[in-house]
A and B are shown apart, each in its own frame.
Chain A
Amino acid sequence: MNSPRELTPDAPLDARTQLPQLEQAVADLLAEAKRQGASAAEAGVSSDSGLSLTVRLGEVETIEHTNDRGLGVTVYFGHRKGAASTSDLSPQAIRETVTAACRIARYTSEDPCHGLADPALLARDYPDLDLYHPWSLAPEEAAEIARRCEDAARQTDPRISNSEGATLNSQSGSFIYGNSHGFVGGYPFSRHSLSCSVIAQEGDSMQRDYWYDSSRLHQTLAAPETIGRIAAERAVARLNGRRLGTRQTPVVFRADIAPGLLRSLTGAIRGHALYRKASFLLDQLGEQLFPDWVQIHERPHLPRGLASAPFDNEGVATRDRDIIRDGVLQGYVLDSYSACRLGMQTTGNAGGVRNLAIDSGEHDLAGLLQEMGSGLLVTEMMGHGLNMVTGDYSRGASGFWVENGEIAYPVEEITVAGNLRDMFRGLVAVGSDNDIPGSVRTGSWLIDGMTVAGE
């Protein structure tokens, strides 16, 4: 099993050819677990490699050749569970890893909810989601793309005074999951991204901002010049920010930071938070959490989607579903364990929510600001000031003060606070500006009645 891997970034190994090898590793893990007496077992193995190259001030700064492997196994002795992981795929490491997991399982407690997923729910047939588009990328070519991106940023505005560089990252690999119900599944994948971070300066004011794009298919990445220009425009727009007086005000969370609000929702309806009563959204199934025009769903089978997956981390078939329909909570985010604890069925969310989206409204960002009239447009949030148990929300922010629907001036060093329950209910509109990078699809959010603290 300890096969040599050719690490040649100029012509990446076809990840599909690794699948049989990874499948064998999973089979070996499951066989070893059985040999050591486990009544059930599941294992995941992955291997990926790539290149990450940064250009700063026109020169190559770092070239990183990445090459990662991971192997994880979970064994069950009845309803006792043990887990172990390693980066080593050799037969000896497989034995040691299974032994470590079995040793752990000798000490964990019986828990009737521990075990493999229901065999009837496993993804016996699953679609090819078109997730694998490797890029034969020479370091010279990567440097040229990153340089074009950073150059464009630096040429956008004379106030761009410095740079943290532009980074091109290209990874591809494969993974296989299998369990002792006889399920084995896996697929190759790729992911490419280009990002740029620059600094604008004017007088004493120095501001940094960034932009990026990410895709399964490098041909669909935004043009390097576009990414650079947007990064520069964002940094320049923040210059000479003022503070605000403390006040109650409506707030627009711009589309690129709105995904955090959606993730707060899915975090609060995670089964593991619910059965521990560590969420502010206990027992809310069927309840009105948002205004009745709000539709939120997950679409795990989007072709080439950044978070697409045909099955979850337990082999359970993923499926399209509504999370919020007409403002009402339709379902939780469950894996087999938390579903069992809640007396429900898994929703195929072991490993998270895949391609989360909220339906867009009719106004673009400018229209949303018009609808707000006067208020705060938040374009950056800082810190982790969310209490999941109570929903209390208080985070650092910067952005723009808006007067009569027009951006008046940049603001910084303020906080935005409220309670997420009230924020969800107080959602006034979602913008149509949902062309943001990343796996979450949302426009900007207009929320009424938040507290802004400043000078």
Chain B
Amino acid sequence: MQALDIARHTLLDSPGLADSDLERVMDQLLSSDIDVADIYFQSSRLESWVLDDGIIKEGNHNIEQGAGLRAISGEKTGFAYTDDLNLPQLLQAAGSARAIARSGQSGRLPQLSPPAARPLYPAVNPLESLNEDEKLALMRRVDAEARAADPRVQQVIVSLVAAHDVVLVAANDGTLAGDVRPLIRLNVQVIVEQDGRREQGSSGGGARTTLDFLLQEDRALGFAREAVRQALVNLEAIDAPAGTMPVVLGPGWPGVLLHEAVGHGLEGDFNRKGTSAFAGRVGEQVASTLCTVVDDGTLPDRRGSLTIDDEGVPSQHTVLIENGILRGYLQDKMNARLMGVASTGNGRRESYAHLPMPRMTNTYMLPGDSDPNEIIASVEKGLYAVNFGGGQVDITSGKFVFSASEAYLIENGRVTTPVKGATLIGSGPEVMTRVSMVGNDLELDSGVGTCGKEGQSVPVGVGQPTLKIDELTVGGTAA
């Protein structure tokens, strides 16, 4: 079955809503003052398992269903939601949302039709893609692999999450779009101990597909070995340096740099309101000419990808920065309309109980020409950071941080001693102008990113090739 058929069946037929009911609710939501009105139906199931101390310690199953109703008049938004998918509750929520606008005669609803969007992932329920015994056996194998990797491994925590999300969007611009979104993830966290010193390491990955993904290419066991490797590196780590120095970032997940330094600052809402350090700078040089940064929601199966966004718009490949020049912003329908441009398919929301806003999908930098070894060799004294925890940005001042969890000194062009985790801080618009070398080794992350904005979490991806920043502040403790 097509995603739209599954969505209609799950969210309209099953709760007993006819097409005429949908039209009635939409009529109730619309008045002549309303520019944008939409209804977002959602049904989701999420299952998680935790292995700890070598046993399957916990499991949780979550069932959510509801609809969010939004009416926009100019820059004003009215919003209400209900977890009862029945006509009286939907009509009541529509009335509450519509109260944002001055009353008037009802608006007109065009014929609803689906957008042309190529499915980027299978319309499957990943919770059923392995049976329970297979899921738990996988987790036990991951645990065993981590413990077998090194006798210094003291603790292993493995978590496995599968989510099945079915959404249907109806909007007054004629959109009727459905999507079935699988999402899976496996995480491994280990603690190692040697001579009384304890350190941790973690790894994991996921995708918009079935759980078989974790069994392919030795992925799950690879995550176990990777977590142990990181923890053992940290056992040898000395204090990180403090001060400003050249920093080489490894490929893949260190692309969290781009997410924080430029991605958030290019979201349409902040730029429409003029609150971003990048506001009004389209066409200007905001990065070195080596930098081309895109947001791409169209990569098959990726964690940050979406066949359609949460406003029913097919996701896109959007060039944000091209050879250092700022090309455009990430837009949802509301901000695109107010800025006189088209949506870029970046309207996302955590759930039916949250309002959509411009959000990233998979944000990455295109590869350059440099050999990664040549990049490291060009640094006399600096930091090589290859793994990170989270980051954060103040989009108004442009200041951002991201915290390294695996890093090394570079001395005389060679990677030498591992150093303890440290926070790196910079100014987004400045740091990107200091990118002096870009590697030919673009990698995307393994599918672990979650982005938070205004209290809403959504899955995202990042990526980059190895790159060198001539000057970045490293927050260690060693003088």
A residues engaging B (CB < 8 A)? 2, 4, 7, 9, 56, 59-69, 81-88, 93, 96-97, 100-101, 103-111, 139, 162, 164, 199, 206-208, 238, 241, 246, 248, 276-278, 382-385, 387, 389-390, 392, 394-396, 398, 412-419, 451-455
Contact A93 B242 (CB under 8 A): no
Q: Does B249 have its Cβ within 8 Å of any Cβ on chain A?
A: no
Contacts of B423 in A (CB 8 A): 382-383, 385, 394-396, 415, 417
Partner of B59, one of A104, A241, A384: A104
- Chain A's closest residue to B132 (CB) is A107
Contact A389 B420 (CB under 8 A): no
Known contacts A64-B355, A206-B397, A394-B421: A4-B88 contact under CB 8 Å: yes
Query: Could you tell me the distance between the alpha carbons of A81 and B394 in the complex, rounded to whole angstroms?
Result: 42
Contacts of A208 in B (CB 8 A): 275, 394, 396-397
Subset of 10 A-B contacts with CB under 8 Å: A4-B88, A84-B60, A206-B396, A208-B394, A382-B400, A384-B403, A387-B200, A415-B242, A415-B423, A451-B479
Contacts of B100 in A (CB 8 A): 60, 63
Contacts of A416 in B (CB 8 A): 475
Interface 1/0s, chain B 378-395, versus A by CB < 8 A? 000000000001111010
| Distance in Å: Cβ of B393 to nearest Cβ of chain A | 8
Contact B353 A97 (CB under 8 A): no
- Chain A's closest residue to B351 (CB) is A87
Interface residues of B in 55-110 (CB under 8 A from A): 55-66, 75-84, 88-89, 92-93, 96-97, 99-100
A-B contact count (CB 8 A): 247
- Chain B's closest residue to A86 (CB) is B63
Contact B392 A383 (CB under 8 A): yes
B residues engaging A (CB < 8 A)? 49, 52, 55-66, 75-84, 88-89, 92-93, 96-97, 99-100, 132-133, 136, 154-155, 157, 191, 193, 198-200, 240, 242-244, 273-275, 277, 353, 355, 389-392, 394, 396-397, 399-403, 420-423, 425-427, 473-477, 479
Contact B396 A385 (CB under 8 A): no
Known contacts A82-B59, A392-B421: A62-B79 contact under CB 8 Å: yes
Partner of B477, one of A276, A278, A451: A451
Q: Which 10 A-B pairs have the closest CB atoms?
A: A415-B475, A396-B401, A109-B55, A104-B59, A383-B401, A208-B396, A453-B242, A385-B423, A100-B61, A65-B80
Pick from A109, A276, A385 the residue with the most CB of B within 10 Å.
A385
Contact B355 A453 (CB under 8 A): no
Known contacts A164-B273, A383-B390: A390-B473 contact under CB 8 Å: no
Contact A61 B421 (CB under 8 A): no
Contacts of A199 in B (CB 8 A): 275, 396
Query: Could you tell me the distance between the alpha carbons of A453 and B396 in the complex, rounded to whole angstroms?
Result: 22
Contacts of A67 in B (CB 8 A): 80-83
Contacts of A63 in B (CB 8 A): 76-79, 99-100
Query: Could you tell me the distance between the alpha carbons of A452 and B425 in the complex, rounded to whole angstroms?
Result: 12
Contact B473 A412 (CB under 8 A): no
Query: Could you tell me the distance between the alpha carbons of A107 and B49 in the complex, rounded to whole angstroms?
Result: 10
| Distance in Å: Cβ of B402 to nearest Cβ of chain A | 7
**Further pairs besides A390-B420, A451-B477: 12, Cβ < 8 Å:** A59-B76, A87-B64, A87-B65, A238-B397, A276-B157, A278-B191, A390-B199, A414-B473, A415-B474, A417-B242, A417-B477, A451-B476
| Distance in Å: Cβ of A112 to nearest Cβ of chain B | 11
Contact A389 B199 (CB under 8 A): yes
Query: Could you tell me the distance between the alpha carbons of A278 and B275 in the complex, rounded to whole angstroms?
Result: 40
| Distance in Å: Cβ of B39 to nearest Cβ of chain A | 15
Contact B155 A412 (CB under 8 A): no
Contacts of A4 in B (CB 8 A): 88-89
Contact A390 B425 (CB under 8 A): no
- Chain A's closest residue to B79 (CB) is A64
Known contacts A63-B77, A64-B80, A412-B397: A385-B57 contact under CB 8 Å: no
Partner of B56, one of A88, A109, A396: A109
